[in-house]
Amino acid sequence: MSSTPTTNSYEQGDIAWVLTSTAFVFLMVPGAGLFYAGLARRKSALSLLFLPIAAACIVFLQWFLWGYSLTFSHTGSAFIGDVSNVGFRNVLTWNPAGWVAKLGGLDFAGGTPVHIASGSAALAYSFMLGKRGGHGTFELNFRPQNTTFVIMGTLFLWIGWFGFNAGCALGANLRAAMAAVVTNLAAGVGGIAWCAMDYRLERRFSAVGLCSGIVAGLVAITPGSGFVPP
């Protein structure tokens, strides 16, 4: 690739696959909302549908304005970039030159920062909300309010996860195909394993358990999806 890229510097098939993957990943936003809205109490369902979409709108804007530049600019410190690419200014190359990449870290689809962000958010929520009331009592003994939402959300997440993992190969190539294969296998094995445990402990199968296992399998395979064989 030349130092001053032009439209002809890129493979059109690769661009088409990454754009398609982007559309798949967007399905994960309402998917997450439906999944958790179905698991929660009825009074919380609307909030859980609203929050992922609202958060997506905010993140789209901040990524365009400064998030991309702080992550991928060629200049800045060893740990964070600067604002040289604010508003996608002068952006025509992907720059996998972060400090973790230089250390040799293998983290496909950004699984590690996603997990770190989720854990940090959960810790912050815990500090803000304080001790849970009614733990171990009938007060917290409730069932998911809408299993149909859980199933629909899981399917949206599963479809979106193909774009999430296989799209991070940044091209229509064998790494993308392998990531898609192992992603699908992990989801299937996770769902079956959870159902088997459900049956062993409860002597019945559970739709919510199947969906929980599928999502657990998708989460577990993500960081290694571009590096492990089936």
How do residues 98-153 score in pLDDT, each as one tens digit? 677 778 877 777 777 778 888 898 899 899 988 877 766 776 666 788 899 999 99
- Each domain of the chain, given as residue ranges in start order, spans 11-131+143-224
- Dihedral angle sign, alpha carbons of residues 161, 217, 36, 121: negative
Residue 97 is predicted with a pLDDT of 61
d(CA 160, CA 117): 20
**Contact by Cβ (8 Å): 165, 179:** yes
Residue-wise pLDDT tens digits, 78-113: 889 899 989 988 876 755 666 777 788 777 777 777
Per the model's pLDDT, the better-predicted residue between 192 and 2 turns out to be: 192
Under the banding of pLDDT at 50, 70 and 90, the label for residue 213 is: very high
Instruction: Name which of 47, 84, 53 is nearest 69 in CA terms.
Output: 84
Residue 11 is predicted with a pLDDT of 84
Residue 66 is predicted with a pLDDT of 93
**Contact by Cβ (8 Å): 89, 68:** no
d(CA 36, CA 45): 8
Tokens of 185: 């296998």
Residue 214 is predicted with a pLDDT of 96
d(CA 105, CA 200): 38
d(CA 128, CA 23): 35
Per the model's pLDDT, the better-predicted residue between 76 and 161 turns out to be: 161
Residue-wise pLDDT tens digits, 31-83: 999 999 999 888 888 898 999 999 999 999 999 999 999 988 888 888 898 99
**Contact by Cβ (8 Å): 169, 227:** no
Residue 1 is predicted with a pLDDT of 40
**The length of the chain, given as a count of residues:** 230
Tokens of 14: 């690769």
Residue 6 is predicted with a pLDDT of 53
Per the model's pLDDT, the better-predicted residue between 144 and 221 turns out to be: 221
Fold observed for domain 11-131+143-224: Ammonium transporter fold (1.10.3430)
Residue 3 is predicted with a pLDDT of 47
Helices (H), the chain: 12-26, 28-39, 42-62, 68-72, 99-102, 111-129, 147-166, 174-202, 207-221
Lowest mean pLDDT among 2-16, 116-130, 154-168: 2-16
Residue-wise pLDDT tens digits, 201-211: 988 888 999 99
Instruction: Name which of 155, 4, 219, 178 is nearest 90 in CA terms.
Output: 4
**Contact by Cβ (8 Å): 36, 153:** yes
Per the model's pLDDT, the better-predicted residue between 44 and 185 turns out to be: 185
**Contact by Cβ (8 Å): 70, 81:** yes
Beta bridge mates, 81 = 76
Is residue 81 classed as helix, strand or coil in its secondary structure? Answer: strand
